[in-house]
Amino acid sequence: MMAYLRQVRCKSVYHKMGLHVLKPTSMDDFEPVETKVPVGSPARFFRDHGRDYFVCCADFQTLALVLVKPKEMFTLKGDPFFREALRRQADELLVIPFSELADVAAEVAADVANITTIFVHITMRCGSTLLIKSLEASGLMHSLSESDVYANISRYVLSKKAMPEDVTEMLLEVIRHINTLFNYTLLLKDPSKTITCYKMRGQVFPIADLLRRALPEVKTVLLYRNLLGTVDSWAHVMAERSYWKYWLITALRLDSFYINNFLHWAPNSPWENPVFRCIPVPHGVVWFTACVWLEFMQKAHDLTKTDAHRCFDVILRYEELCKYKEKMVAKVIEILGIKCVSEDAKLKIREVFGFNSQTGHSLASRGPCRGDSWLGQWEMGIISKILDHVNCEEISRPDFVLNGTMTQIYDTNGIV
């Protein structure tokens, strides 16, 4: 296989809002418009045209990286999720075999040598869109919310019971090349910004340590949320912010059908875990969210319990992000070693906290830090039974705090 270009259009189903758009992007999401056009020298082509092609997804059937040239009306900032906008606006694909990525990356590596890259890792429903928009408002960096290429890699890794060393080395190299190509595209879009920030999807978190191994120089942030807030947020999304719809769905046990749409989103299906499957509670949205949260938090605990900053430079929770707002964002930027945020930038960051960062999307919940919780005795009883049944000694409370979490902000006068 050699590199090629191909004009395409996004399948019409992805132009309609719904849970199906959450599926990680793949080659199957595009319909060919023209035949393939071979690219004899993808390295030279990317140097000359790289500003027009964004890394989109990885195809592990053909072992190729797929880049997308979006239509002219495409903007980086128009949608809460970059992956969905890029898929919808696809006009042409640039497909490069993994075997040729090293040459392409080497061609532009010197151009991006001074770029500082930040990865924002998340668990689930933890205010990450709010955080990424806040970082963007600082005016210091390029930011992208959820590219699917890392989700493709995570799904591939999780599908393997064992990973041969040569396959692991191949993945590490591919990850490095992806970062180089991504940074080159963004740099050409705006050369004045030499910091790039990529917010990962939740399903990428299981390979956070693999990404760290591939790119140890990348700055990393971990954002998470307590269990009760996470469950409540998913309940609002499921019921489209209508409590009576939520009450009816859960009373009739219809939420078990709803969560089938998220099996591709969870790192592993709770139904396939014998510990989760046999918990004597309704297997609906509360059970599903709690089980996935536990799996994420166990992974996070394993990565932080002995050395909090071995994998993450900054660890914070949604609760403190909402409490301290622009002060927390400025502190995160400071810890990452980026120049101080100006007072004008802090005002712009604070404005982000005044509206729903996912407005207009089916995943939008209640907006930043507002609204009453829907969790009552029934939900609390289910959560309590799950925690008791799973019996994770370290993670026994819904408000469990990871080692190294920044729960307070200090200045020269003490706690802010």
Pair 93, 149 in one domain: yes
- Same domain membership, residue 372 and residue 269: yes
Give the residue numbers spanning the domain of 57: 4-113+142-192
Query: Which tens digit of pLDDT belongs to each residue from 308-322?
Result: 899 999 999 999 999
Q: What is the pLDDT of residue 76?
A: 65
pLDDT given for residue 357 in this prediction: 58
Both 169 and 234 in one domain: the answer is: no
48 in a domain, yes or no? yes
Give the residue ranges of the chain where pLDDT is below 50: 368-369
Residue 137 lies in a domain: no
Q: Which of 144, 143, 321 is nearest to 222 (CA)?
A: 321
State the pLDDT at residue 172: 98
Same domain, 27 and 103: yes
pLDDT of 370 reads 55
In a domain, 347, yes or no: no
Can you give the pLDDT at residue 185? 96
Number of domains present in the structure of the chain: 2
Which parts of 239-356 fold into alpha helices (H)? 243-251, 255-258, 274-277, 285-304, 318-324, 326-335, 343-352
Separation of alpha carbons 222 and 136, rounded Å: 17
> What is the reported pLDDT for 280?
94
Q: Are residues 30 and 173 in the same domain?
A: yes
pLDDT for 258: 80
Residue 20 falls inside a structural domain:
yes
pLDDT value at position 173? 98
Whether 332 is covered by a domain: the verdict is: no
Task: Give the residue among 416, 224, 222, 227 at the shortest CA–CA distance from 323.
Answer: 416
Are 264 and 411 in a shared domain?
Answer: yes
Reported as type and span, the H/E element at residue 56 is strand 54-59
* Residue 34, domain member (yes or no): yes
Please tell me whether residues 186 and 234 are part of one structural domain: no
**Which candidate, 177, 374, 208, 172, places its Cα nearest to that of 297?**
208
Residues 170 and 234 in one domain: no
Same domain, 232 and 174: no
> In this structure, are 245 and 297 located in the same domain?
yes
SS (H, E, C) the chain: CCCEEEEEEECHHHHCCCHHHHCCCCHHHEEECCCCEECCCHHHHHHHHHHHCEEEEEECCCCEEEEEEECCCCCCCCCCCHHHHHHHCEEEEEEEEHHHHHHHHHHHHHHHCCCEEEEEEECCCCCHHHHHHHHHHCCCCEEEECCCHHHHHHHHHHCCCCCCHHHHHHHHHHHHHHHHHHHHHHHHHCCCCCEEEEECCHHHHHHHHHHHHHCCCCEEEEEECCHHHHHHHHHHHHCCCCHHHHHHHHHCCCHHHHHHHHCCCCCCCHHHCHHHHCCCCCCCHHHHHHHHHHHHHHHHHHHHCCCCCCCCCEEEEHHHHHHHCHHHHHHHHHHCCCCCCCHHHHHHHHHHCCCCCCCCCCCCCCCCCCCCCCCCHHHHHHHHHHHHHHCCCCCCCCCCCCCCCCCCCEECCEEC
Query: 206 lies in a domain?
Result: no
State the pLDDT at residue 234. Answer: 87
Residues 90, 231 within the same domain:
no
User: How confident is the model at residue 77, as a pLDDT?
Assistant: 66
Residue 51: CA count within 13 A, CB half-sphere = 8
Task: Kindly state whether residues 159 and 81 are assigned to the same domain.
Answer: yes
- The upper half-sphere exposure of residue 291, i.e. CA atoms within 13 Å in the direction of its Cβ, equals 27
